[in-house]
Structure 1
Amino acid sequence: MPMSERSFLGLSAAGFHPVAYTQWGRDDAARTVVCVHGLTRNGRDFDPLALALAGQRRVACPDVVGRGRSGWLPVPALYGYPQYCADMTALIARLGVEEVDWVGTSMGGLIGMTLAAQPNSPIRRMVINDVGPFIAKAGLQRIADYVGKDPVFEDLAAVESYLRFVLMGFGRLSDSCWRHMAEHSARRRPDGRYGLAYDPGIAEAFKNQPMDDVDLWAVWDRIQCPVLVLRGADSDLLTAETAEEMTRRGPGAKGNVRVVEFPHTGHAPALMSEDQIAVVRDFLLDA
């Protein structure tokens, strides 16, 4: 399937910045899917899913600003959901469509929820991967303990070893999946060694406010589109209780929410194995 690396300019209070995205499938596909990654990740995490969808959909997988091939903001305090939502709105405009389907992992799911809750939202169907409208501070603290660090690695094997540890919640992945993530999660440093492909400044939001539970039920209650909620059975970010409550409130009150739980997985299902891809593909193509 056709795959290309593209970019556009986003705008923050500090000026313009490049936002990179990978596109799979044809420009004239009947529908478009936008896949948005988690806090420290990048759009290439979705390569296996995008490839599975590209025969029937155009799939755009952005690197949220500060990650992957996208630019870094000169003022770390600007990293946050208002900026992320503005950039994703610009991406939808660049794609030239009035509707999109959304797949969001963790941070990407929260961006999707925020956009889907707005009046006249362009999001038609949404997959939320291991995040919800209530996040306990214990899960946030675990992420805060490693995000923003800037370790240095001698080679890609060391990068892969690090990712296998900090992302163990992704579940039982093949060696080729871990290698793929390492290749796209590393940036080459001037000294020839490797760093992680994200701006350590994205951790600014964790440093400047007290760690507490996050309650976004008011956002969830405004969403009207059908939602597929994915949960790792061992997740500390999306509890079983919150996932169940999501089926009763907001779009769930109208029977528009389905929850699927994956065993032997924490935060967050990687969406790289065939069983996980099949669940997402069936939901998106069923409409």
Structure 2
Amino acid sequence: MQQSAKLRHFRGLSLSGFHRVAYREWGAADAKRTLICVHGLTRNGRDFDELAAAAAARGWRVVCPDVVGRGDSEPLADPSGYAFPQYLQDMNALLARLDVEEVDWVGTSMGGLIGMFLAAIPGTPLRRLMMNDIGPFLPAEALSRLSQQVGEQPSWPDYKSAYADLRAAYVGFGPLTEAQWQRLVERSLTAEGKGWRRNYDPAIGKAFAGSLEGDVDLWPFWDQLRLPVLVYRGAQSELLTPETAREMSERGPRAQVVEIAGSGHAPALMSDQQISPILDWLSSN
């Protein structure tokens, strides 16, 4: 049976007030296992539609939030709040809403770091963590290039031109079918007047750029992890370097690292070849 999602929301709290955080829930609320999937910096929870449907078909409850300022979630009144303390607070509110003792976590880029931070906290409810093309060391050069892309907020007069530009911008997702590209681009856009723009708050780019101060070293958090970790690395990724991926397999939780050929930052997780190994690993003892 084809699985479908229910769109829900809860209220997050920042110093400037409450904000609506949207999430999509797949599968039965009383399922034995719950999986949370969190997207990258300017993406949204729809990135996990294929993975969530596959997991729900296996009997999982899957929850895919739109982090504040992205997708169907409201923007922050004060853009300076677009940072990990706010994201962690909102995800803790989501965990409380779900009312479960234990969850597994799949996170792409920023979503993987959110999972890592939560997993490093004593008493964490995370059981297993999958990190998609992200690690505890982020090179300044790669972050600078990412900041330039995030800071751009173009608009397009028609869908055809938006599709062409976004397909070029998201080449790091790897080789996709035409149908997959169509779905990915549709999930990336929102209507604006008679045209289109990316569906995230443009202020996120300014907040991200303002936080950059060279390389980011998060190894102390990594070394606190006491749970199984699976890492996907896009073979052409500049954000998760081969050296960092190798060190992730040798220290801390000693992650299982899988390199995804043909992808950069970050593998799209839309094909069965990428999804099934994740679900098999999450299901293993």
- Taking structure 2 as the reference length, what is the TM-score of the superposition? 0.96
Query: Does residue 176 of the first structure (1) align with residue 176 of the second (2)?
Result: no
How far residue 210 of structure 1 moved from its aligned partner, in angstroms, is 4.5
How far residue 84 of structure 1 moved from its aligned partner, in angstroms, is 0.5
Q: Which aligned runs of 4 or more in structure 1 are off by greater than 6 angstroms?
A: none
1:218 pairs with one of 206, 220, 236: 220
Given the superposition, is the C-alpha separation of residues 140 and 98 from structure 1 closer, same or farther in structure 2, using an over 3 Å criterion? same
Contact 1:148 1:199 in 2 (8 A): no
Deviation per CA, 1:128-147, whole angstroms, max 9, x where unpaired?
A: 00000001111111111110
203-212 or 21-30: which moved more? 203-212
How far residue 209 of structure 1 moved from its aligned partner, in angstroms, is 4.1
Deviation per CA, 1:128-171, whole angstroms, max 9, x where unpaired?
A: 00000001111111111110322111222322222211111100
Q: What is residue 15 of structure 1 aligned with on the other side?
A: 17
Task: Give the Cα separation in 2 of the matches to 1:179 and 1:148.
Answer: 24
Q: What is residue 160 of structure 1 aligned with on the other side?
A: 163
Q: What is residue 281 of structure 1 aligned with on the other side?
A: 279
| Identity within the alignment, % | 53
Contact 1:140 1:211 in 2 (8 A): no
Aligned alpha-carbon RMSD (Å): 1.1
Task: Give the Cα separation in 2 of the matches to 1:120 and 1:48.
Answer: 31
Aligned length: 282
Amino acid at match of 1:269: P
How far residue 25 of structure 1 moved from its aligned partner, in angstroms, is 0.7
2:258 pairs with one of 237, 257, 260: 260
Task: Give the Cα separation in 1 of the matches to 2:115 and 2:152.
Answer: 26
Partner of 2:253, secondary structure, is helix
Partner of 1:54, secondary structure, is helix
Q: What is residue 123 of structure 1 aligned with on the other side?
A: 126
208-217 or 40-49: which moved more? 208-217
Query: Does residue 85 of the first structure (1) align with residue 88 of the second (2)?
Result: yes
- Structure 2 counterparts to residues 127-206 of structure 1, below 5 A: 127-189=130-192, 191-206=193-208
Contact 1:79 1:204 in 2 (8 A): no
34-43 or 202-211: which moved more? 202-211
Given the superposition, is the C-alpha separation of residues 207 and 2 from structure 1 closer, same or farther in structure 2, using an over 3 Å criterion? closer
Partner of 1:41, secondary structure, is coil
Unaligned runs of 5+ in 1: none
How far residue 205 of structure 1 moved from its aligned partner, in angstroms, is 2.8
2:253 pairs with one of 245, 251, 271: 251
Q: What is residue 4 of structure 1 aligned with on the other side?
A: 6
Partner of 1:147, secondary structure, is helix
Given the superposition, is the C-alpha separation of residues 7 and 210 from structure 1 closer, same or farther in structure 2, using an over 3 Å criterion? closer
How far residue 211 of structure 1 moved from its aligned partner, in angstroms, is 3.8
Task: Give the Cα separation in 2 of the matches to 1:210 and 1:65.
Answer: 20
How far residue 186 of structure 1 moved from its aligned partner, in angstroms, is 1.2
Task: Give the Cα separation in 2 of the matches to 1:23 and 1:210.
Answer: 34
Task: Give the Cα separation in 2 of the matches to 1:160 and 1:283.
Answer: 34
How far residue 104 of structure 1 moved from its aligned partner, in angstroms, is 0.3
Q: What is residue 104 of structure 1 aligned with on the other side?
A: 107
Amino acid at match of 1:194: W
Amino acid at match of 2:275: I
Unaligned runs of 5+ in 2: none
Task: Give the Cα separation in 2 of the matches to 1:63 and 1:32.
Answer: 17
Given the superposition, is the C-alpha separation of residues 73 and 262 from structure 1 closer, same or farther in structure 2, using an over 3 Å criterion? same
Partner of 1:102, secondary structure, is strand
How far residue 208 of structure 1 moved from its aligned partner, in angstroms, is 2.2
Task: Give the Cα separation in 1 of the matches to 2:231 and 2:54.
Answer: 19
Deviation per CA, 1:62-88, whole angstroms, max 9, x where unpaired?
A: 000010000001111010000001111
Partner of 2:155, secondary structure, is coil
